[in-house]
Amino acid sequence: MDRKPEPELMDDEAQALAYAQADFSEAHDRFVALFTECFPGEPGSGVCLDLGCGPADVLVRFARAHPACRLDGVDGAPAMLALAECAVGAAHLQDRVRLIHGYLPGAELPGRDYDAVISNSLLHHLAVPAVLWETAKRYGRPGAALFVMDLLRPDTPARLDELVRRHAADAPSVLQRDFRNSLLAAYRPDEVKAQLEHAGLGSCRVSVISDRHWIAFGRL
């Protein structure tokens, strides 16, 4: 199926709240576990950048799994960042986690030479996918870990309907709609590989890890 872009920002308060309250624990725990599998012992006591941190569920899980690191999370949607601030506060992580309002690629981030750059489900929101890869290169130090996870666009309408039924049948209608739209906006692995090659990151690997997710990982 052809890709159908969706809005870059999720800044409707009701939509953001529904997303934040949804149970993504399985996928988000796997994100953290796969990072650790791909980069054992990292980022250690270094600093990690999360691009498109949303309501900070991944950020909080990552911080708990890596208690020596510090993290900066950036997002362009104020509604999401308000929820992220609540999540970081509830987890008592304010001393290690900074949240930054910024719209990529123009956002000016407080750090440089990050030891790891991570991102979950940002790429399919971007009108220009190169923004993600170029921002990672701009802010990550040479050799930094790069780890990205996102949705996988189905190849047929029937497969799309099947995935929505399987994973969102009991979800509120707003989440069912968002999930369908996000799957339609997502990239295929060959498209991601082409993006990485164009960005000078051809050494990064792309792997399909579930019926609806892929990961890309490597060194900057």
Choose among 214, 212, 146: nearest CA to 182: 212
Taking residues 183-211, report their average pLDDT.
97
Q: 90 and 109 in contact (C-beta within 8 Å)? A: no
5-28 pLDDT tens trace: 876 555 566 665 555 465 567 889
Say what the pTM is. Answer: 0.92
215 beta partners: 149, 207
CA distances from 150 to 8, 52, 77, 113, 217 (A): 14, 12, 18, 24, 12
pLDDT value of position 202:
97
32-56 pLDDT tens trace: 999 999 999 999 999 999 999 999 9
Which stretches within 72-188 are classed as H helix? 78-90, 130-139, 157-168, 173-185
Domains of the chain: 13-219 (3.40.50.150)
